[in-house]
Amino acid sequence: MSSIKQVLSKDMVGKKVQLRGWIYRTRSSGGIVFAVLRDATGIIQVTVKKGNVPDHDFEDAAKAAIESSVMIEGEVAEDKRAPGGFEVRASRFTVVGFSEPFPITEYQSTELLLDQRHLWIRSREQNAVAKVKAALLKGARDWFHENDYVEVTPPIVTAVAPEDSTTLFQIKYFDRIAYLSQSAQFYLESLIFSLEKVYSLTPSFRAEKSRTPRHLAEYWHMEMEAAWMDNEGNMEVQEQLVTAMLQNAVKECPMELQLLKRDPATLRKIEPPFERMKYQEAMDYLQSKGQDVRWGSDLGAIEERTITVDKQLPVFIVNYPKELKPFYMKENPEDPRTYKNSDLLAPEGYGEIIGGSERETDNARMIAWLEEKGENMDNYKWYLDLRKYGSVPHSGFGLGIERIVTWVCKLDHIRDAIPYPRTVARVYP
């Protein structure tokens, strides 16, 4: 048995091959059926000529609708008119599973494609996105392991909210209330006291009520935390990690990127260092572009788009005002109105893909902040313990996997960066 990718090559011309897959397109004309077959690796035309295959095979080929699963045998030939330049001239054509009329045809509404997601994920675009995503994840994992980070497995069911408590999903947990994790950060922080450099890949849950093209209710979150690291070291890890992810996608998925209309050359050019732009500079730049922002304005999709639309490389925005970020970030001694933190924005208008910071180590400051916000201190007791027993400077960040996929695959909407998007409107299929 061969894969379609293996068969699409000059060396294969004249060879006998066996393939299996699904009918992607089919038409017949006179005594010939032209069936385009797809498998995990690509598509190829199969011509089934009456008389060249058993009669029964020809009848089945003529009536098999798209998405029928088939096994074929035949000889590879060059054919300029066929997609990919090659075809297989069948000597056998066996239908394994006939397909009912497929509910997805060309030009379907977004809603229908979401209703039929379990079938739409068979599309070539979704196939390509899934492979690019896997290559990005592998690039990240390889980078972490080469750099002595330990992959850890933090809990998903939690009692506290590291991020915005208004976006927590509450669950019934036996006879108590618990929450789905928004971030593994606190747990990763606890693990650096024995492992020093850790990372995790987990789903994070955010009850994002606003419908934006870059927010999911459930997304895959790659987070890292490292002892003895300041925020500059943290940014260096981010630029190296992102570069390693992109390089692996370019290496493993050049065809998939092209299918998605992403020129791999634009990704190949991306390497450290990435520009560092102070929050204040970002405000000045946005004002120069006529946007109504001032010190204390948050950067949303529009602002991030303005900053990055003409950029070829990602850019760090550093030192946000404290009022825009959570309590666990470390104050910037050079400007105490701000934190030692950064958001990494993807170029071409895509915007935030990573949020990171050096962490506060002074419990008194964190307690004052939590009290001011009226938080229940019992929930944070264990977290505050971490600063009591051999506290060390440390930093970390969270990278939204679907955000980086959206950028790399040039998607219009983050929902296409995940097979089953969870949003305010949808938990089915």
Site for ligand ATP in 118-177 (CB under 6 A): 163
Regarding 409 and contact with ligand ATP (CB under 6 A), the answer is no
Angle at 198 between CA 377 and CA 358, to 5 degrees: 55
Q: Are 86 and 12 in contact (CB under 8 A)?
A: yes
Regarding 208 and contact with ligand ATP (CB under 6 A), the answer is yes
Site for ligand ATP in 389-408 (CB under 6 A): 398-400, 402-403
Candidates 39, 256, 352, 416: give the one binding ligand ATP (CB under 6 A). 352
Distances (CA, A) of 424 to 110, 215, 217, 420, 421: 16, 10, 7, 13, 10
Candidates 64, 132, 216, 317: give the one binding ligand ATP (CB under 6 A). 216
Regarding 39 and contact with ligand ATP (CB under 6 A), the answer is no
Q: How far is the CB of 300 from ligand ATP (least distance, A)?
A: 7
Q: Residues near 380 by Cβ (< 8 Å), separated by ≥ 6?
A: 160, 366, 370
Q: Which stretch binds ligand ATP (CB under 6 A): 147-155, 251-259, 346-354, 365-373?
A: 346-354
Q: DSSP string spanning 26-87? A: EEEETTEEEEEEEETTEEEEEEEEBTTB-HHHHHHHHHPPTT-EEEEEEEEEE-TTSGGGEE
Regarding 12 and contact with ligand ATP (CB under 6 A), the answer is no
Q: Tell me, what DSSP letter sits at residue 376? A: -
Q: How far is the CB of 203 from ligand ATP (least distance, A)?
A: 10
Q: Which of 105, 125, 68 is nearest to 48 (CA)?
A: 68
Q: How far is the CB of 169 from ligand ATP (least distance, A)?
A: 12
The residue of the chain with the least Cβ separation from ligand ATP equals 400
Regarding 8 and contact with ligand ATP (CB under 6 A), the answer is no
- Closer to ligand ATP by CB, 42 or 351: give it: 351
CA dist 99 and 68 (Å) reads 4
Q: Which of 42, 123, 56 is nearest to 88 (CA)?
A: 42
Q: Tell me, what DSSP letter sits at residue 273? A: P
Task: Centre a 10 Å sphere on the Cβ of residue 84 and count the other Cβ atoms it contains.
Answer: 16
Distances (CA, A) of 326 to 6, 137, 231, 323: 51, 27, 16, 8
Candidates 144, 219, 274, 327: give the one binding ligand ATP (CB under 6 A). 219
Cα torsion 187, 190, 193, 194 to 10°: value is -50
Candidates 38, 133, 215, 394: give the one binding ligand ATP (CB under 6 A). 215
**Residue 171 token pair:** 């669950």
Count of residues interacting with ligand ATP (CB under 6 A): 16
Q: How far is the CB of 98 from ligand ATP (least distance, A)?
A: 40
Q: How far is the CB of 418 from ligand ATP (least distance, A)?
A: 9
Regarding 420 and contact with ligand ATP (CB under 6 A), the answer is no
- Closer to ligand ATP by CB, 141 or 221: give it: 221
Regarding 314 and contact with ligand ATP (CB under 6 A), the answer is no
Window 353-392: contact mask with ligand ATP (x via CB under 6 A) = xxx-------------------------------------
Q: Residues near 304 by Cβ (< 8 Å), separated by ≥ 6?
A: 345, 349, 351, 352
Regarding 293 and contact with ligand ATP (CB under 6 A), the answer is no
Query: Residues in the site for ligand ATP, rule: CB under 6 A?
Result: 163, 206, 208, 215-216, 219, 221, 352-355, 398-400, 402-403
